Amino acid sequence: MAQATASALTSAQPNVTAAQISADLRRMDRRQWWLWSAACTIMLLLTIGVASFVFPSLWRGDVSGSSFGLGQAVRGLVGMVLLFNCYTVYQQVVLNRLRQQMSQQIQSLANVENLATEIYKLAALDQLTGLYNRRSAEKRLEEEISRAIRHARPLNLLLMDIDNLKEINDAHGHAAGDVVLMAFGERLRRAIRGSDQGSRIGGDEFMVVLPECPSGQVQHVINRLRTLTVEYEGATIKVNFSAGWKDYHPGETALEFIRRVDDALFADKRGKCEDLDLQAVDKTARRDRA
């Protein structure tokens, strides 16, 4: 719903941008500068014209002729100056009106762009962690699969699941769980490259699309996420997670790829559970022997 609204708003925007409108305003300023330059030039030419009427008579000593020519020239000059001043005032009013209209258009366009950005965030981003949501992750994965097939380049997919989020919620409350999720999302954002995409696809599940990343490099990303601790109301919370990753096999769909990586994630979680069970049995045996 939100994504459709964002698309509608985007299509409703005019075919101009704020930068283009600002460029039009600068052109208007230049036009105004040329208007004042033209005014100065016309005044100079009119002065020269008056002088051309008067100076010949003064040069011949014809005072009456010079007076008559000067009077005619002054009246013509005054008339032309008044006419040009009226034209200048009219142009100034028009330019100011256009500038106000364009300023309002810039503000309206900025408001629409801000609204479209907010709707896009609601449609594409997870509101708690700021990472991409599941829909965006699946769309990006399909795009990267097409690119990997087209250019024969490696593609890896990493799935992670926070192991002890339920225990954190039970022990410290759901607010503490939210803090842990936000901290993990921030650490994930710093651990991946700009070309990668980190997403929160469920309550405590995260997905990372790693284009042009060989399988041997995925472990470096995971290592950057280890040893995460969160301070909450005086308590130090250690965050543990399971991870599974696979490289893409040409010919499989995005859903098949995700299922294969999810199996690797489940195997990692099952291995940890078996280790915990063995540790519990060992502790029980040692206690019985004691």
* Residue 200 pLDDT > 90: yes
Residue ranges per structural domain of the chain: 2-124, 134-289
Distance separating alpha carbons of residues 229 and 227, to the nearest angstrom? 6
Question: With 80 as the cut, is the pLDDT of residue 235 above it?
Answer: yes
Closest C-alpha among 231, 43, 207 to residue 135: 207
Distance CA 136, CA 125 (A): 8
270 vs 113: which has the higher pLDDT = 270
Phi, psi for 164 (deg, rounded to 5): -110, 30
Q: Rounded to a whole number, what is the distance in angstroms from the first to the last CA of the chain?
A: 64
More confident residue, 207 or 36: 207
Tell me how far apart the alpha carbons of residues 287 and 290 are, in angstroms, rounded to a whole number.
5
| Average pLDDT of every residue of the chain | 78
| Joined tokens for residue 21 | 């409108």
Look at 281 and 163; give whichever has higher pLDDT: 163
With vertex at residue 174, the alpha carbon angle to CA 168 and CA 179, rounded to the nearest 5 degrees, is 80
Beta-bridge partners for 230 = 237
Positions annotated as catalytic residues are: 204
Q: Contact 195/212 with Cβ under 8 angstroms?
A: yes
Angstrom distance (rounded) from CA 135 to CA 156: 18
pLDDT (0 to 100) of residue 253: 93
Q: How confident is the model at residue 50 (pLDDT cuts 50, 70, 90)?
A: low
pLDDT at residue 7 is higher than 50: no
What would the mean pLDDT of 58-83 be, rounded to a whole number?
61
To the question of domain 134-289 being in CATH 3.30.70.270, the answer is yes
Mean pLDDT score, 70-80:
67
Give the number of C-alpha atoms closer than 13 A to the C-alpha of residue 248, restricted to the C-beta side.
26
Residue 215 in contact with residue 156, Cβ under 8 Å?
Answer: yes
Q: Which residues contact 132 (CB under 8 A, 6 or more apart)?
A: 124, 125, 126, 140, 197, 198, 199, 200
